[in-house]
Structure 1
Amino acid sequence: MGDLNALFRKRIGIREDEKLTFEGLDDILEKTGKKIPFENLSIIAANLTDINKENIFNKILVRNEGGVCYELNAALYFFLEENGFEVTLVRGVIYNQGWMTIGRTHVAILLKHEGRTYLVDTGFGGNLPLKPVPLNGETVTSQNGEFRITRESTEHGNYILELKLKYKDPDWKIGYAFDTSKPVGNIAELNEVQTIIKENPQSPFNKHPLITCLTGNGNITLTDTSFTRWADGKVTKEDIDGKRFKELLKRHFDR
């Protein structure tokens, strides 16, 4: 395996010799959200491999693809770990007009710093906090909106991420629940998540291609039928066909 640390830095655009600090994580998360897209293209193409460090490295940093939560946050987890941060992976249940019924298929990162624990997530599509979110309920604000975590014990976990996306959400909404008492003990556990996402009929990511990333003033989302751009709170949407999909995929995502 090559140098994960060097290639991650190259992919998101930071210097090889830059020392990472907790205070600098905002910049890391913003750059990651803009440079590494959330996408399910390999799932749709049935081009999947086992979830391990080498395969994540090759997909995200050698082939310069994106991924879904368990790939993007696994890559960031390995990068943060190599740079001296105390991190663990944690699984959660997404809320989308009700709790999803396919189980704990969202994967995020818990980071400990100076006695406090924070949620870090670069694998939540267009809903990225872009900052570490403390588990003490404090609200953080980024270019993407406001985010906070409430402590609430449910069958889905013991904490809930809430968000209010800029220009989109007038009120707080639930993102997902996660369970800090059940950290991911081994990266191989994420193969179970991948199998559910790939095979379960209720999975939202095994039916149509989707690729999205943040931009300087919003985000762009491409599917097989539409291209949507949010810019400074204004949305434009174009209906597309297969040929146009390939053109936009190449132009905006270099794929």
Structure 2
Amino acid sequence: MGTPWRGSRMGTWSGDELDLGAYLARIGLGGRARELRPDLRTLYEVHRAHTAAIPFESLDVLLGRPVALEVKALEDKLVRGRRGGYCYEQNSLLAAALERIGFEVSGRGARNRTRGESLLAVTHAALVVTVEGEPWLCDAGFGYQGPREPVPLGRPGAEVRQGPWTFAVGEEEDGLLVLRIRRGDAWRDLYAFSPQRYHPVDYVVLNHYSSTHPRSSFIGRTLVQLPGDAVRKTLVGRELMRLYPDGRTEREPVAPEGLPGLLDREFGLRLPERDAAELVRIHRSED
């Protein structure tokens, strides 16, 4: 038999275990805990602040360390340690915070569609938050192409402007929903997901695959991303790419010794000295 998920007595996402004040301070909303209500305005505010403050990164996978999803572990790493995380970490933390505020939150599992026509396994974690009976897609963990704000799910095909970026959710057969982003004059699929609910224990299983399986896209490479307003940035290996709303991209090679400084400058991510040295060593070994 599998090990049961030791979640919160108060909620699915263990929101009662989260230090909400510390989380809000981390995302730039310190001192606001008593003002926040489970309404659409708060959902927008928290989602946007989270995606601006906490970068997407999978450096622990590269460094060969386990990725823990318990709320206190996420709090230690992403909040107090001021690190980033990938989708399971980001959205588990966001779900705990939203649940603590009083929102109804459920999980979804999605298939990445950004890598051509190949059918990929369900490995992405996203959230659906219901506000006054209306479902909203919330996702702080899809990296530089992901939404900065909630996207409505009850209006398939409707275009949603988020600053200079445009998203839409399309509907396919069997109720499958697809998140899309406009790049220049073209729409591009980001990921597809079904109405099936996912729970924290499901993310534990997906997280194990993503952080340990040799075919996982996170194994053996540096991946750090940030979805900004004017420009979206991604560091893959030793190449920094900037993506602009009109579809333009700029690419910049990075020397191993320049990686720690670039992480601080471009992503607001300061690694401990030991981790920074190990990151440089790994990339030097590739030369």
Bin the TM-score by the shorter chain: 0.7 to 0.9
- Deviations 1:224-248, CA, capped at 9 Å, x for gaps: 3122334676644321121011221
Code of the aligned partner of 1:19: L
TM-score, normalized by length of structure 2?
Answer: 0.78
- Deviations 1:78-122, CA, capped at 9 Å, x for gaps: 010000111111111111212443x21100010111111111111
Q: Distance in 2 between matches of 1:4 and 1:99?
A: 41
Partner of residue 116 from structure 2, selected from 97, 103, 106? 97
Count, aligned residues: 247
The alignment status of 1:72 with 2:90, answered yes or no, reads yes
The alignment status of 1:142 with 2:156, answered yes or no, reads no
Q: Distance in 2 between matches of 1:124 and 1:159?
A: 16
Code of the aligned partner of 2:238: T
State the 1:65 CA deviation.
1.0
Partner of residue 27 from structure 1, selected from 45, 48, 58? 45
Q: Secondary structure at the match of 1:172?
A: strand
Q: Distance in 2 between matches of 1:4 and 1:204?
A: 32
State the 1:59 CA deviation.
1.8
TM-score, normalized by length of structure 1?
Answer: 0.87
Percent identity reads: 24
Tell me, yes or no, if the aligned pair for 1:70 and 1:190 is still in contact at 8 Å: yes
Code of the aligned partner of 1:62: R
Q: 1:236 to 1:216 in 2, by over 3 A?
A: same
Structure 1 residue aligned with 2:29: 14
The alignment status of 1:106 with 2:124, answered yes or no, reads yes
- Deviations 1:98-148, CA, capped at 9 Å, x for gaps: 2443x2110001011111111111111111222221222132110252112
Unpaired runs of at least 5, structure 1 = none
The alignment status of 1:174 with 2:185, answered yes or no, reads no
Q: Distance in 2 between matches of 1:152 and 1:237?
A: 34
Structure 1 residue aligned with 2:19: 4
Higher Cα Rg, which structure:
2
Structure 1 residue aligned with 2:13: none
Unpaired runs of at least 5, structure 2 = 1-15, 272-287
Tell me, yes or no, if the aligned pair for 1:222 and 1:245 is still in contact at 8 Å: no
Tell me, yes or no, if the aligned pair for 2:18 and 2:71 is still in contact at 8 Å: no
State the 1:217 CA deviation.
2.0
Q: 1:152 to 1:216 in 2, by over 3 A?
A: closer
Q: Distance in 1 between matches of 2:167 and 2:264?
A: 32
Tell me, yes or no, if the aligned pair for 1:93 and 1:105 is still in contact at 8 Å: yes
Q: Secondary structure at the match of 2:194?
A: strand
Code of the aligned partner of 1:104: V
Tell me, yes or no, if the aligned pair for 1:196 and 1:203 is still in contact at 8 Å: yes
Counterparts in 2 of 1:193-232, with a 5 A limit? 193-230=206-243
Code of the aligned partner of 1:197: S
- Deviations 1:181-207, CA, capped at 9 Å, x for gaps: x2123x132121112212334322212
RMSD of equivalent CA atoms: 2.3
Tell me, yes or no, if the aligned pair for 1:38 and 1:123 is still in contact at 8 Å: yes
Q: Distance in 1 between matches of 2:109 and 2:88?
A: 9
Structure 2 residue aligned with 1:127: 145
Q: Which moved more, 1:86-95 or 1:187-196?
A: 187-196
Tell me, yes or no, if the aligned pair for 2:123 and 2:210 is still in contact at 8 Å: yes
Q: Distance in 2 between matches of 1:144 and 1:129?
A: 12
State the 1:74 CA deviation.
0.7
Q: Secondary structure at the match of 2:82?
A: coil
Structure 2 residue aligned with 1:249: 263
Q: Secondary structure at the match of 1:42?
A: helix
Q: Distance in 1 between matches of 2:242 and 2:68?
A: 33
Q: 1:54 to 1:100 in 2, by over 3 A?
A: farther
The alignment status of 1:159 with 2:177, answered yes or no, reads yes
Q: 1:144 to 1:68 in 2, by over 3 A?
A: farther
